[in-house]
Amino acid sequence: MTAAASNPAAAGLALEMRGATVTAMADPGTILLEGVDWSVAPGDFWVVGGLQGSGKTDFLLMTGGLTAPGSGAYHFFGKGMPMFEEHRLGERLQLSMVFDEAKLFNRLTVSENVSLPLRYHRNLTVAGADAEVRPLLDLTELASWADSTPGAMALAWRKRVGLARALMLKPRVLLLDNPLLGLDLRHRGWWLNFLGQLSRGHPWMEGRPTTLVVTTHDFRPWQGVGRQFAVLKDRRFVVLGSWQQVNAAGDERVRELLAVEAGSI
Amino acid sequence: MRVPVPRSCAHYLGRRLFRFLRTVQGLGAFALITLGVMITKCRASSRVIHPLAIHEVSRAGLRLLPMFLFVAAALGLVVIGQAVSWLTRVGAINYLGTIMVIVVVRELGPLIAAMLLLARVGTANVVDLGTARALGEVEVLEALGIDPIHYFVAPRVFGMAVGVFSLTVYLILGAIVSGYLWAFVQEVPLQPAEYFRQLAGALSGLDFALLAVKTGLFGFIIAIVTCYHGLAQPLRLEEVSHATVRAVAQSVIACVLLDAVFIVIYLIF
C-alpha cells in the first residue's frame, strides 16, 4: 500500500520521509543520519544547515533518489521514490539537482551541457534543442559563454551552468547542494534573487512555484528567502521552522550556523 | 605424511581465488547489463548516442590507421618476409598460403590489433571513466535520468568492436602486401599472382566468419573490462592508475583465453 493510499494527506506532499536512515554514498555501511522525519509541501523552500561532514550532500543525494534510504520510508508525491526504474522516468524527471561545484561535463560546451537532458529525453540534436536552450542561457546570463567549455570558466559561472542544466526540463522539485559556497557578493545576490523568484513562481517554470531544498553551512544569507529551516546535528535531522524560530533557537549548532565568519562563503 | 600448508598461504590463495571469482561475477553481470541496454535502447536517444558511437569508432578505428599501417609493415617483415625467404630456401614455398593464413589471418592479426587497441584506447577508457566516476559525473547522469551505461559504455563497446574488426582487416591486408614487398626485396622467385593464389587457396569462408566474430568479441571484451574498471566501482582519483593496471591485465588474459577457444574451434572444423 502506498503512502498516498494509507494517508490521504501524504498524497499532497512533495517529499515525505518517515524514520529514514541516510547512509554515505561512498560507503553504504556508514550511517550519517537516523530517524529522519520530514514533510515537504509543494512550493516549500527549505534550507537545511549543517557543518562540514554532517552529511548534507549524502542527505541531498538520498533526497534526489540517487541512493536508497538505509531504512524507513521515503515518498515522492505520495509514491515510493523512483530510483532507476525505466517506467517511472517521467516521475523522476520531476526532480532535479544542482551539485556542489556544478559537476559539469568538461568535454561539452556550456550549451551542450545545459541541453543534454533535453536532447537525451526528447531525442534532439544540439541544433534542434537550441531554440529552447537560448532563453535559459539568457535567463542565467550564460549566453556569452554558450560555446565555451567549463574548464575556461570561473566557479561562479560553472555553478550557473549547473543550475541551468537542472532547470532545463522544468522540474517541480529542485535540490541545491550548497549553492552559495565560493561565490562573491554579486553572484550570491543573483542566486538568492533567482531562487526567490523560482519559489514564488518564475515565468520559466510557467509561473508554478518550484519546491526548493538547499543545503548550507551558513543560515544568514537565507534570511527572508528560505521559508523552512532544518539542521543536521548528531546524526539527527532537526526541523527548526521559520527564520524567527531559527533566531530564537538556543541550540549551540544553530548558533554556529548563524555565526560563521563573514567572508568564509 | 602430508606437508601442512602454511595457514597464511592458504589464506592468501583463498583470498586471491575469492577476489578472482568476484571479478568474474562482476564482469559477467556488467557485460549482461551492457548487452541488455544496447539491445533495448538501440534506438533510444539516437541523436545523442549515435554521434558518441561514431566518435568512438573514429577514436578506436580511423585515428589509429597510420599506426596500424606501420605495424602492418613491421609484421610483414617479421613474419611474411622471413617466412617466404626461408620457405624458398627449403623448397616448401607451396605451404606459404597456409602458413600466412594461420599465422597472420587467424592468430597474429586479430591478437595484435586487440592488444594495440587495448594499449591506445582501452587504457584511455579506464582513465576517462574512472575520472568521470571520481568527479561525480555518473551521479550527475543518474540525477538527469540518463542511463550511464547507455551514455558512457554502449558507444565505447560499439566503437571498440568495430575498431578491432576494421583495424584487423587493415593490418592483415597491410601485412600481406608488405610481406610480399619484403620478399621481393630479397629477390625470392615468387610471382604476385602465385603469392595471392596461394593465400586465396588457403582461406575459407569459415576464416572470414570467425575473423569477424573473433575481432568483434575481442573489442567487446576489452571495452567491457576497461569500462567496468573505470565505472563500476566507486573510484577515487588516486585509484584510477591501479584500476588501469588491473583492466589491462584482465583484458590481456581474457583475450588470450578467447583466442584459445577459437584455436579449438579451428581445430574442430
| Ordered DSSP codes for B19-82 | HHHHHHHHHHHHHHHHHHHHHHTSSTTHHHHHHHHHHHHHHHTGGGHHHHHHHHHHHIIIIIIH
Q: What local confidence, expressed as pLDDT, does residue B5 receive? A: 59
- In this prediction, residue A120 carries a pLDDT of 96
Question: Between the CA of residue A108 and those of A149, B22, B131, B231, what are the distances in Å?
Answer: 6, 35, 15, 19
Q: CB distance from A146 to chain B under 8 Å? A: no
Find the mean pLDDT for residues B242-253.
Answer: 94
Residues of A in contact with B135 (CB under 8 A): 103
Question: Which of A66, A120, A165 is nearest residue B142 as measured by Cβ atoms?
Answer: A66
What pLDDT sits at residue B200?
A: 87
Instruction: Name the nearest CA neighbour of A75 among A21, A36, A39.
Output: A39
Q: Is residue A45 part of a domain?
A: yes
Coil vs helix vs strand at B205: helix
Q: What are phi and psi of B161, to 5 degrees?
A: -65, -45
**B47 Cα to chain A: minimum distance (Å):** 6
The answer to whether residue B258 scores a pLDDT higher than 80 is: yes
pLDDT by residue, tens only, chain A of 265 residues: 344 444 544 558 999 999 999 999 888 889 999 999 999 999 999 999 999 889 999 999 999 999 999 999 999 999 888 877 888 889 999 999 999 888 999 999 999 999 999 999 999 999 999 999 999 999 999 999 999 999 999 999 999 999 999 999 999 999 999 999 999 999 999 999 999 999 999 999 999 999 999 999 999 999 989 899 999 999 999 999 999 988 888 777 788 888 744 444 4
| A165 within domain boundaries | no
**A120 → chain B, closest CA residue:** B45
Of B46, B48, B143, which is closest to A66 when you measure between CB atoms?
B143
- In B, residues 190-249, which contact A (CB 8 Å cutoff)? 234
Q: Which domain holds residue A40?
A: 3-94+171-258
ipTM over 0.95: no
- Contact call for A84 and B142, based on CB within 8 A: yes
Q: Give domain status of residue A264, yes or no.
A: no
Return d(Cα B70, Cα B76) in angstroms, integer. 10
pLDDT (tens digit, 9 = 90+) per residue, B186-216? 777 778 888 888 888 888 888 899 999 999 9
Of the partner residues B47, B144, B234, the one whose CB lies closest to the CB of residue A117: B144
What pTM does this model have? Answer: 0.87
Residue type, B104: V
Q: Which of A248, A238, B251, A5 is nearest to B243 (CA)?
A: B251
Task: Identify whether B16 is part of a domain.
Answer: no
Q: Which of B50, B128, B129, B144 to mutate: most A Cβ within 10 Å?
A: B144
CA distance A259 to chain B (A): 31
Q: Is residue B3 part of a domain?
A: no
Establish if B1 belongs to a structural domain.
no
Answer whether B234 sits within 8 Å of A26, measured CB to CB. Answer: yes
In chain B, the number of structural domains is: 1
Look at residue A241 and tell me if it is in a domain.
yes
Query: Residue B74: which of B213, B182, B200, B224 has the closest Cα?
Result: B182
Host domain of residue B168: 29-268
* Residue A237 domain-assigned (yes or no): yes
Our measurement of the distance from residue B107's CA atom to the centroid of its chain's CA atoms, rounded to an integer in Å, reads 12
Chain A residues 215-234 with a CB less than 8 Å from chain B: none
Q: Which of A93, A134, A91 is nearest to A115 (CA)?
A: A134
- B194 domain residue, yes or no: yes
Q: Which residue of B has its CA nearest to A58?
A: B139
B41-52 mean pLDDT: 93
Domain count, chain A: 1
| Residue A172 contacts B, CB cutoff 8 Å | no
Report which DSSP code applies to B187: T
Q: Do B144 and A84 touch (CB under 8 A)?
A: no
DSSP 3-state assignment of B108? helix
Query: Smallest CA–CA separation between A192 and chain B, in Å?
Result: 23
Most A-contacting residue of B131, B140, B147, B151 (CB-CB within 10 A), to test interface: B140
Q: In Å, how far are A159, A181, B7, B11, B14 from B3, measured between CA atoms? A: 65, 64, 12, 16, 18
Q: Does residue A142 sit within a domain?
A: no
Q: What is the separation of C-alpha B40 from the centre of its chain, rounded to a whole number of angstroms?
A: 25
Distance from CA of B159 to the nearest CA of A (A): 18
Only one residue has cell 579451428, namely: B266
Alpha-carbon Rg for chain B, nearest whole angstrom, is: 22
pLDDT given at position B4: 59
Residue B94 sits at φ, ψ, to 5 deg, of -70, -20
Assess if residue B232 is contained within a domain: yes
A260 C-beta neighbours (distance < 10 Å), count: 17
The answer to the question of residue A221 being in a domain is yes
Residue A56 sits in a domain of what CATH number? Answer: 3.40.50.300
Considering the domain boundaries, does residue B14 fall inside one?
no
Decide if A246 is inside a domain. yes
Q: Is the pLDDT of residue B64 over 70?
A: yes
For residue A92, the chain B residues in CB contact (below 8 A) are 145
Look at residue B79 and tell me if it is in a domain: yes
Query: Taking CB atoms and an 8 Å cutoff, what residues of chain A touch B137?
Result: 103, 105
pLDDT band at B6 (very low <50, low <70, confident <90, very high): low
pLDDT band at B16 (very low <50, low <70, confident <90, very high): confident
CA-to-CA distance for B163 and B54, rounded, in angstroms?
A: 11
Residue B231 lies in a domain: yes
> Which residue in chain B has the smallest CA separation from A169?
B144
* pLDDT for B53 beyond 60: yes
Neighbours of A262 (CB within 10 A): 8
The pLDDT of residue A178: 95
A89 CB within 8 Å of a chain B CB: yes
pLDDT in tens, B150-190: 999 999 999 999 999 999 999 999 988 888 888 788 777 77
Read off the pLDDT band of B85 (50, 70, 90): confident
Write out the H or E segment, with its range, that includes residue B247: helix B240-268
Q: Which residues of A touch B144 (CB under 8 A)?
A: 96, 116-117, 120, 165
Kindly determine whether residue A105 and residue B143, on different chains, have CB atoms separated by under 8 Å: no
